Amino acid sequence: MSLWLIPLCALCLLCALIAAGAKVSAARNGTIRGRVELRHVVTPPERRPSVTELGTPIGRDLPDVLRSVVYLESAPRGAFETSDGGRAVMDQRNETFVPHVLAITTGTTVDFPNSDKFYHNVFSLSKTRQFDLGRYAAGNSRQVRFDRPGIVRVFCDIHSHMNAFILVFGHPFFAMTDGEGRYHIDNVPPGTYGVVAWNEGTSSDAVPVTVPDGGVAEMDFTIR
């Protein structure tokens, strides 16, 4: 064997070892989790009862209003490159938007079915996405695609007490709280991020949270 081949083989072996080591030491994604406590008063709006419902308490379930959204203020570079966010549904049922809060990614098409026995007219004047679906009867559905991140307030032109929120994100790092106010954002690359909690138009300050390699970061929020 030629002598010049020996250092060349050693160099190739060294490169292979470096590449293997890089694969082994590749960063593992982690999780941010915690709880959101609400200190401000949240009361669901009461809708007008029909003749058959007089004397019966009607209104949106309070737990739905109490649900919050927790999200990263900015996403890791290159973490979300697709423009197709799939589909989601915001129903109209008992003169209420269900769910009251919907969190989606950009590119998502939201269906607005009418499950009531009367007409609805869904619209929004929000800068993020303005639309007016017009009046449509029970059993029908119309849709809207959301391509810009931001917050969209949704109303019904016929029933003034109906309202909802659609939060549109340009990344997948967000989560809704459960009935106990707990949340978890999974598959977050290691690093430090500003994390925000939102409820009924009120947001917390962005809090720096460091996600360890393959680990869990705990962070609780209080919204006043």
The total of structural domains in the chain comes to 2
Domain boundary among 170, 191, 207: 170
pTM: 0.80
Q: Which CATH number belongs to the domain containing residue 144 in this structure?
A: 2.60.40.420
Q: Would 21 be classed as within a structural domain? A: no
- The rounded distance, in Å, linking the Cα atoms of 79 and 187 is 10
Q: Would 139 be classed as within a structural domain? A: yes
Beta-sheet pairing, 30-38 with 216-218 = parallel
pLDDT digits (tens, 9 = 90+) for 59-84: 445 567 789 999 999 888 765 565 67
pLDDT digits (tens, 9 = 90+) for 103-121: 999 999 999 999 999 999 9
Same-domain pairing of 157 and 106: yes
Say yes or no to pLDDT of 178 above 80.
yes
Q: Would 50 be classed as within a structural domain? A: yes
Same-domain pairing of 166 and 208: no
C-alpha separations of 61 from 21, 42, 107, 193 in Å: 54, 11, 29, 33
Same-domain pairing of 153 and 183: no
User: What range does the domain containing 127 cover?
Assistant: 81-170
